[in-house]
A and B are shown apart, each in its own frame.
Chain A
Amino acid sequence: MSAKPSERSKEHQAQAPTDDGGRYAQVTGVAVGLLLAAGATPALAWEPTKRVEIVVAAGAGGASDQMARMMQAAIQKNGLMKAPIVVSLKGGASGAEALMYMKSSDGDANKVLIGLFPDLHAAALGENSLQLARPHTRGRRGDGSVRPVGQCGRSKVGQGLHRRCEGCRVSFKMGGTGSKREDMCSRYSWKKKTGAKFSYLPYKSGGEAATQLVGTTRIQRQ
């Protein structure tokens, strides 16, 4: 709800992401007017006629943001949709800002939320006072705040740290954007399996984490 006034300022009208060189700059200039080939979709199928907003439940430059922009570019370059498409960042309160925004947009099919599932789940659980139930996958229809329409990919993370922490007296510094969420889960499972210790540096987005952590990774012997 509080998200509304700042909405406009946070939108990115087909801009190239600042942290990703000019890779998307070339494609964002392509006209959106490539019409769908006749017969590509059934004649009566609904499609949006006004601007579609991809709502990112994470910070600028993070993985969700990058993926949203990639999809924006893919849609425009391949003429997959006639309506214009924008990306808006609503990463406040660990993604709860985006959930509230979607919750206040019931029935508005011109908005699509993108986010990592554990993050959104954690954000929803952390906002119980706002009556944001868990996403619509358990329980009755209609008791959740959002509804899954599709899913793109499962991420893998390869840090190579595990090899060194076997049986270990080693302390690691871990930095990331998933404080109290996925980073805590993964940290806990490593700790349980190996006894390794971690200290944690929380960052606001993957972009920030990458910038801050590049060149600083090291193993600290106790």
Chain B
Amino acid sequence: MFDKERISYTTKVSETQSWNDIPTCKEEGLDVQYLMLRAMFCPEKSARSKQAFYVDLFQKIAQTPEYKEYMEKQALKPVFLKGRRCSNSLKRMMR
């Protein structure tokens, strides 16, 4: 697992193991971390009210069973960021 911590999913995906049973690289003696982020972008010069609609929409999507099932099946870290926290996260990645 290329993260500082194990992923939260504890449902068994093989006969004996869940994603949560997979150790981090660091636990296994290799101290590397690598996170990627999938982001949604509006075109430049989009009105704020229109951006707000999409932030709201994606927030609602993140509450749906379809979304939650997808995140778990793909073993994606269930983190949702918006606004300043999202921008800050992008900034950190560009360093």
Chain A positions within 8 Å of B, measured between CB atoms, are 27, 41, 45-48, 63-64, 66-67, 70-71, 73-75, 77-78, 80-81, 102-103, 105-109, 111-118, 120-121, 134-138, 142, 144-158, 160, 162-163, 165-166, 182, 185-186, 189-190, 193-194
Whether A153 touches B80, Cβ cut-off 8 Å, given contacts A109-B50, A115-B39, A137-B94, is: yes
Q: In this complex, what residue of A is CB-closest to B95? A: A138
Contact of A80 among B29, B57, B91, B93 (CB under 8 A): B57
Whether A154 touches B40, Cβ cut-off 8 Å, given contacts A142-B45, A149-B82, A162-B30, is: no
Query: Whole-angstrom distance from the CB of B77 to the nearest CB of chain A?
Result: 4
Contact of B44 among A78, A114, A134, A136 (CB under 8 A): A136
Q: Are B25 and A162 within 8 A (Cβ)?
A: yes
The 0/1 profile, CB within 8 Å of A marked 1, for residues 51-95 of chain B is 111111111111010110011001111111110001101110110
Which residues of B are found within 8 Å of A135, using beta-carbon distances? 41, 90
**Interface SS of chain B:** mixed
Q: Are A147 and B44 within 8 A (Cβ)?
A: yes
Contact of B51 among A64, A109, A118, A155 (CB under 8 A): A109
Which residues of A are found within 8 Å of B75, using beta-carbon distances? 156, 158
Q: Are A147 and B35 within 8 A (Cβ)?
A: no
Contact of B80 among A81, A136, A150, A189 (CB under 8 A): A150
Q: In this complex, what residue of B is CB-closest to A186? A: B34
Q: Are B34 and A67 within 8 A (Cβ)?
A: no
Q: In this complex, what residue of B is CB-closest to A55? A: B41
Which residues of A are found within 8 Å of B43, using beta-carbon distances? 102-103, 105-109, 111, 113, 146-147
Q: In this complex, what residue of A is CB-closest to B78? A: A153
Count A-B pairs with CB separation below 8 Å: 230
Which residues of A are found within 8 Å of B58, using beta-carbon distances? 71, 149-150, 152
Alpha-carbon separation in the docked complex, A186 to B2 (Å): 10
Q: Are A134 and B40 within 8 A (Cβ)?
A: no
Q: Are B61 and A117 within 8 A (Cβ)?
A: no
Contact of A138 among B31, B53, B94 (CB under 8 A): B94
Which residues of B are found within 8 Å of A66, using beta-carbon distances? 70, 74
Contact of A117 among B36, B45, B46 (CB under 8 A): B36
Q: Are B44 and A142 within 8 A (Cβ)?
A: yes
Which residues of A are found within 8 Å of B87, using beta-carbon distances? 137, 148
Contact of A115 among B38, B55, B66, B70 (CB under 8 A): B38
Alpha-carbon separation in the docked complex, A118 to B89 (Å): 12
Contact of A106 among B2, B44, B50 (CB under 8 A): B44
Whether A147 touches B46, Cβ cut-off 8 Å, given contacts A71-B67, A137-B87, A158-B22, is: yes
